[in-house]
């Protein structure tokens, strides 16, 4: 059996669908008729490989009485557990049975009349086309199938898109909440840990696995001080430049390994450089994440910058980095937060309820 696909593809992202078509096996069980004798009507059958329909027919036997016997004969086909199939042919000489894909069924063919007979047909129909989504984009295709006997059929298939994880750059402003996130993890900050312990400041660290590995005791203390850990991949690549499976491994491995090291289940991720697209979001889903987190404000040694160049507002997600001097930057940020009567809150997937996911990368680090 050959398969040809004519696909209309979304222009941006390549689509791949693996299609498995298994050959058809049909077996006659029971005896090959002694039917020729004495005008006994003959049973023939045909499996349509396009529609998975078995057509059983009664045809006249040989001899002068063949047609006469046929006229007085009826055909009934039964399946195990099913009532006798209705006979759609007024002449009583043809029955169609549809066999679901991937099933084997036994059909009992009963001929009633002057020359009764009974046979059993075992029909095996191949599994349905197995369509494997490998792309974040949905794809529609028409397959032209050609069976071994030359019969052709056109099948419309829709390859579903991989589910994707939404990315949010703002979170809930309820209660004048603001969210502090600190990325990478190359340089742990004892001052920040001290602030967290003294003031119960909620901080989310999006950690690179390779960076966190260097200072595991610090990150365990960070978690013990109430810190939340997010997934910032294994090695901080631009995920939009990787294949789907590479990006999935970057998310999934870091999520699992960091979770094991720190005794937490990681559910949020932040794409390095803020670079994301549908494939990165689909990879995050495959990697086990529930939400991707962007940011709407940054704080570094040059001060605080917001997306709209105005002051900090409720619902902002502020991005900092684990760099030398982070303690001072955090102190300045907290002053600005308090001056605006904002309250740092822990970031969880629930923080994004009611927020619109972001569609495009902002760029950054
Ligand atoms: Zn980063």
For the chain, what percent of residues have pLDDT higher than 70? 82
Query: Is the CATH number 3.20.20.370 carried by domain 167-352?
Result: yes
State the pLDDT at residue 245: 94
Question: How many residues comprise the chain?
Answer: 365
How much distance in Å is there from the Cα of 50 to the middle of ligand 1? 53
How much distance in Å is there from the Cα of 184 to the middle of ligand 1? 5
Closest CA to 202 of 219, 184, 181, 217: 181
How much distance in Å is there from the Cα of 198 to the middle of ligand 1? 27
Are 204 and 230 a contacting pair, CB within 8 Å? yes
How much distance in Å is there from the Cα of 68 to the middle of ligand 1? 87
Report the alpha-carbon angle 257-196-217, nearest 5.
Answer: 35
User: Which residues 6+ apart lie within 8 Å of 345 measured at CB?
Assistant: 175, 177, 178, 179, 202, 351
Closest CA to 266 of 206, 329, 306: 206
Q: In what order do the strands lie in the sheet with 152-159?
A: 2-8, 139-146, 152-159
- CATH 3.20.20.370 residue window(s) in the chain: 167-352
Kindly indicate the confidence band of residue 83, based on its pLDDT and cuts at 50, 70 and 90.
Answer: low
How much distance in Å is there from the Cα of 183 to the middle of ligand 1? 5
Cα–Cα distance, 198 to 193 (Å, whole number): 9
How much distance in Å is there from the Cα of 83 to the middle of ligand 1? 66
State the pLDDT at residue 143: 77
How much distance in Å is there from the Cα of 172 to the middle of ligand 1? 23
Tokens, residue 197? 């312990």
State the pLDDT at residue 277: 93
Across the range 332-350, mean pLDDT stands at: 97
How much distance in Å is there from the Cα of 165 to the middle of ligand 1? 19
How much distance in Å is there from the Cα of 310 to the middle of ligand 1? 24
What's this model's pTM, rounded to 2 decimal places?
Answer: 0.65
Across the range 322-332, mean pLDDT stands at: 97
| CATH architecture for residues 29-122 | Sandwich (2.60)
Burial 206-238 (b: 16+ CB within 10 A, else e): bbbbbbbeebeebbebbbebebbbbbbbbebbe
Pairwise pLDDT comparison (353 vs 2), residue with the higher score: 353
Kindly indicate the confidence band of residue 157, based on its pLDDT and cuts at 50, 70 and 90.
Answer: confident
Of the listed ranges 35-39, 43-47, 48-52, 220-224, the least confidently predicted one is 35-39
Start-end of H helices in 163-304? 190-199, 209-212, 216-224, 244-262, 278-286
- CATH 2.60.40.10 residue window(s) in the chain: 29-122
Kindly indicate the confidence band of residue 94, based on its pLDDT and cuts at 50, 70 and 90.
Answer: confident
Closest CA to 129 of 19, 35, 209: 19
């Amino acid at each position: 059996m050959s398969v040809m696909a004519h696909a209309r593809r979304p222009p941006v992202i390549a689509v791949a669908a693996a299609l498995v078509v298994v050959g058809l096996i049909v077996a006659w069980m029971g005896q090959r008729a002694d039917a020729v004798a004495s005008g006994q009507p003959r049973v023939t059958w045909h499996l349509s490989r396009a529609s998975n329909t078995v057509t059983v027919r009664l045809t006249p036997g040989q001899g002068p009485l063949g047609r006469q016997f046929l006229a007085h004969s009826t055909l009934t086909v039964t399946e195990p557990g099913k009532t006798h199939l209705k006979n759609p042919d007024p002449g009583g000489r043809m029955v169609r049975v549809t066999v679901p894909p991937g099933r084997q069924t036994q059909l009992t063919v009963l001929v009633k009349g002057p020359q009764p007979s009974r046979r059993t047909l075992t029909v095996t129909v191949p599994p349905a086309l197995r369509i494997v989504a490998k792309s974040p984009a949905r794809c529609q295709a028409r397959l032209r199938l050609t069976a071994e006997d030359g019969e052709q059929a056109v099948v419309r298939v829709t390859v579903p898109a991989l589910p994707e994880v939404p990315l949010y750059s703002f979170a809930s402003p309820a209660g004048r909440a603001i969210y502090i996130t600190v990325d990478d993890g190359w340089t742990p900050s004892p001052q920040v840990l001290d602030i967290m312990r003294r003031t119960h400041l909620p901080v989310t660290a999006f950690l690179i696995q390779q960076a966190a590995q260097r200072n595991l005791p610090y990150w365990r203390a960070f978690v013990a001080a109430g810190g939340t850990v997010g997934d910032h991949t294994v090695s901080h690549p631009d995920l939009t430049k990787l294949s789907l499976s590479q990006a999935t491994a970057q998310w999934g491995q870091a999520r699992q390994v960091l979770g094991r090291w720190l005794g937490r289940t990681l559910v949020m991720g932040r794409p390095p450089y803020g670079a994301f697209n549908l494939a990165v979001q689909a990879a995050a889903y495959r990697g086990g994440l529930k939400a991707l987190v962007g940011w709407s404000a940054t704080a570094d040694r040059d001060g605080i910058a917001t997306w709209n160049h105005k002051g900090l507002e409720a619902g902002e997600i502020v991005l900092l980095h684990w760099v030398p001097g982070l303690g001072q930057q955090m102190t300045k940020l907290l002053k600005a937060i308090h001056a605006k009567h904002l309250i740092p809150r822990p970031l969880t997937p629930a923080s994004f309820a009611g927020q619109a996911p972001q569609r495009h990368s902002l760029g950054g680090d």
